[in-house]
Structure 1
Amino acid sequence: MLKKENFTEEHIRDLQSASHRDPLLLERSVYAFGLLEAITRVGMPFIFKGGTCLMLLLERPMRLSTDIDIIVAPGTDLNTFIEEAGKIFPFVSVEEQVRKGKNNIEKRHFKFVYESPVMERSIYILLDVLFEDAKYKRLIAKPIKNELILTDGEDLTVQIPSVESILGDKLTAFAPHTTGILLNSNKDMEIIKQLYDVMTLIEVAEDFTEVRETYYSLVQDEIAYRGLDIGPGDALRDTYNAAVSIASRGKVSKEDYVSYLQGLRDVRSHIYVENFSAEEASKRVPVVMYLVACLLKNVPFEKDIDSAAYLGAGFISDELKALKSLRKVAPAGYACAVKADRLLNE
């Protein structure tokens, strides 16, 4: 279980010294796990999803995330659970944040308030609750434990989607004209958070059949929620086009890239383990192009690619010629782009 020392300025400053990251972001990430443990302690039945769950799922936290997103079965009575969780240290109160939804998704939102040791004022952690039957292919149990938080005694565990299942979910969220967080909605950084998570998860995923099955299950719901007259292939093409724009650093889809670039700049403070940049994103994002091409063409995703075998290859698609500079600076990215191009155009 989490130790009370987690919720002290000393602990947050220790994390700041080690990571050179914003102390308030670090604090809110730690307190988010306080909220996760609180709703677990009161026996609330839920599945933990979203960006914060990756901080437990992966070997170490890669991106700081400060909200708790959960799924509960339709008809679940939350009120008693919420009331009891709000009484657990470090929280001092809880209130519901009523929002008017723009689609048919049933959600509730709760602010869990605490007294910030860093800012010396009241701050809240948001709990987002989605009411639906989970469609992840596989769930696993994970202890509430990582390098940001101090624990002792028995660790509490939560149910979260597997790496492959959450990757399928995150792919639906990185589709900025269709099923994902939309462009021109003042959420540039949120779009790039989804991209960063997708790239991170691809590195550790193993069963890409599970990724495919989860994606096709979830994307149909996202399309229906939004009342879109499209199919899964259109959403995948949207993801592909966004990846191409970022790989080309705006030579393709220049207007969209203005938003992507702003998101790439803003997200840097949220990346815990590395100095992420637009240049780094352009080198790594072709793996997303390749995965999407595999999903579109229903072919296996090859994780280990001999980059040298593709250095002499050119592109079939004219727009991908804007990616030719990757040949020198990112051979692995170039190889992924070539493979994606061949799958979609040969």
Structure 2
Amino acid sequence: MYNTKPEIFIWEIRVSVASAIAFEKKHIEQHRFDASPALAEQAVHCLELVAELSDAGLSYQFKGGNSLLLILDKPRRFSIDVDIATDESRERIEECLDTIIDCYGVFRRWDKRAHRTKPWLPIASYYLFFDSHFAVPKETHIMLDAQLRRSPYRTELKPVVCGELYAAPVKAELPFASSIIGDKLLTLGPNTLGIPVGKGKEAQRLKHVYDVSVLLGRNPALEDIRVSLTGCLAHENEIQESTIGLEEVLRDTLDYCGATAKCGVPPSFDTGDSALHENALGLNAFAGHLFSGDYTWKRLQYDTARAALTVTAACRSDIGQDTFETALAGNEVPHGVPCRSTGKLPCEPRVQRWWHWIAAWLEVDPFSRVGL
């Protein structure tokens, strides 16, 4: 006698880690932090990718610009990519991406992406595609860059929550503000470990220098920044198979930041300093990622001076926390500064005072080589 009862197949149906409301058009428009709806939608999907990677069991550190969405009390900008650092293999990452496509229903597909900035680095890069409420054509994407080695950060687990825009019931491993600052300070000098010129990354350095300036508002300890800077330098030298020293990074970074301080307005043509020219070209593109929608040359002078002050303090072991905080406040200058150039800089007084402090710590005029 045959069993005539029908077989029942039970399929596991999974949905997004965050509530489905987070992906609704009305919700995004209401909670977009004054960014464009399309950019806010991409940020939602970036955070969902972070949550899904955690939920899928990948071990990683969430770094880069979008990690600030979970670190800052009030986010300032969105990015369209997710940066992680992991000791997991490419195969394991792609296995998790397959799980994300098959089980969560937010992303339609993924594809490999060529990493253009420094293609020799151990980085796995991907596009993840989804259907947009705002983009034309409907299918759009975000990006995932996975550094195939964990970074030497101090980290903590934090909920994947960004105001009322996005919230998921999982946590991600995030660096401390001081760790991100130390790492980002290495990205500025184009001739050492920073972003090379001529890579179509005109706005990228601006993002890093802006993030450093904003994160300094979290009042990180100088010693923690110093530890991060030296640790990340050793880490980057190992990854890039280079032997660049701290003094070389300092010199390159000060040259980059100082060039911006010397120009009262963005150069309208290539002055021979390609990084400076790229800064001018990248202003509008970077401004489009800020909630304020505005990023001026004066603000870039402000941010680069803060970055220059911080990298100088971090490279000088005799500078303590109190001195650093006094200098960063920008309300006074030290006595006996061997620098006559800073008063000639075409920038606001506080920016001039930061360069005064740099000159005092270096015991040399940082602009003497260029005849200011």
TM-score by length of 2: 0.81
The Cα shift of 1:198 comes to 1.0
Work out the CA distance in 2 between the residues paired with 1:226 and 1:116.
Answer: 37
* Larger deviation, residues 246-255 vs 182-191: 246-255
Matched, 1:8 2:30: no
Work out the CA distance in 2 between the residues paired with 1:131 and 1:101.
Answer: 16
The Cα shift of 1:321 comes to 4.4
Which of 61, 64, 80 aligns to 2:95? It is: 80
Work out the CA distance in 2 between the residues paired with 1:204 and 1:194.
Answer: 16
Aligned to 2:233: 219
For residue 203 of structure 2, give the secondary structure of its aligned residue in structure 1: helix
Indicate how the Cα distance of structure 1 residues 289 and 42 shifts in structure 2: closer, same or farther if over 3 A, else same. Answer: same
Q: Deviations over 1:114-137 (max 9, x none)?
A: 10111251111211111114311x
Indicate how the Cα distance of structure 1 residues 90 and 205 shifts in structure 2: closer, same or farther if over 3 A, else same. Answer: same
Aligned to 2:190: 176
CA contact (8 A) 1:96 1:109 kept: yes
Residue identity in the other structure for 2:142: I
Aligned to 1:94: 110
The Cα shift of 1:310 comes to 2.6
The Cα shift of 1:278 comes to 1.0
The Cα shift of 1:4 comes to 1.2
Q: Deviations over 1:127-183 (max 9, x none)?
A: 1111114311x10111111125243xx721100111111111111112222211122
Which of 21, 28, 53 aligns to 1:39? It is: 53
Measured on the aligned residues, the alpha-carbon RMSD in Å equals 2.7
The Cα shift of 1:75 comes to 4.1
Which of 265, 277, 281 aligns to 1:262? It is: 281
For residue 240 of structure 1, give the secondary structure of its aligned residue in structure 2: helix
Aligned to 1:337: 355
The Cα shift of 1:249 comes to 2.7
Q: Based on CA coordinates, which of the two structures has the bigger radius of gyration?
A: 2
The Cα shift of 1:229 comes to 5.3
Work out the CA distance in 2 between the residues paired with 1:322 and 1:224.
Answer: 41
Which of 210, 213, 234 aligns to 1:196? It is: 210
Aligned to 2:42: 28
For residue 144 of structure 1, give the secondary structure of its aligned residue in structure 2: strand
The Cα shift of 1:73 comes to 1.0
The Cα shift of 1:104 comes to 4.9
Work out the CA distance in 2 between the residues paired with 1:276 and 1:148.
Answer: 25
Aligned to 1:107: 123
Q: What stretches of structure 2 of length at least 5 have no aligned partner? A: 1-16, 365-372
CA contact (8 A) 1:168 1:214 kept: yes
Q: Deviations over 1:292-311 (max 9, x none)?
A: 22123222252244645339
- Identical amino acids, percent of aligned pairs: 20
Matched, 1:134 2:151: yes
CA contact (8 A) 1:103 1:226 kept: no
Aligned to 1:230: 244
Work out the CA distance in 2 between the residues paired with 1:219 and 1:291.
Answer: 15
Aligned to 2:84: 70
Work out the CA distance in 1 between the residues paired with 2:283 and 2:337.
Answer: 26
CA contact (8 A) 1:182 1:191 kept: no
For residue 334 of structure 1, give the secondary structure of its aligned residue in structure 2: helix
Aligned to 2:12: none
Which of 321, 325, 333 aligns to 1:310? It is: 333
Work out the CA distance in 2 between the residues paired with 1:67 and 1:186.
Answer: 16
Residue identity in the other structure for 2:308: M
Indicate how the Cα distance of structure 1 residues 117 and 264 shifts in structure 2: closer, same or farther if over 3 A, else same. Answer: same
Indicate how the Cα distance of structure 1 residues 184 and 250 shifts in structure 2: closer, same or farther if over 3 A, else same. Answer: farther
Matched, 1:118 2:134: yes
Matched, 1:286 2:305: yes
The Cα shift of 1:101 comes to 8.6
Indicate how the Cα distance of structure 1 residues 159 and 325 shifts in structure 2: closer, same or farther if over 3 A, else same. Answer: closer
For residue 199 of structure 1, give the secondary structure of its aligned residue in structure 2: helix
The Cα shift of 1:98 comes to 5.1
Residue identity in the other structure for 1:300: G
Aligned to 2:290: 271
Matched, 1:326 2:326: no
The Cα shift of 1:95 comes to 2.5
Work out the CA distance in 2 between the residues paired with 1:155 and 1:74.
Answer: 23
Q: Deviations over 1:271-301 (max 9, x none)?
A: 1257321112223432222212212322225
TM-score by length of 1: 0.87
Matched, 1:242 2:256: yes
CA contact (8 A) 1:94 1:111 kept: yes
* Larger deviation, residues 167-176 vs 220-229: 220-229
Matched, 1:295 2:305: no
Q: Deviations over 1:88-115 (max 9, x none)?
A: 1321222333558956532212222110
Q: Deviations over 1:35-88 (max 9, x none)?
A: 111111111111111111011111121121111111111547223322111231
Q: What stretches of structure 1 of length at least 5 have no aligned partner? A: none
What is the aligned length?
336
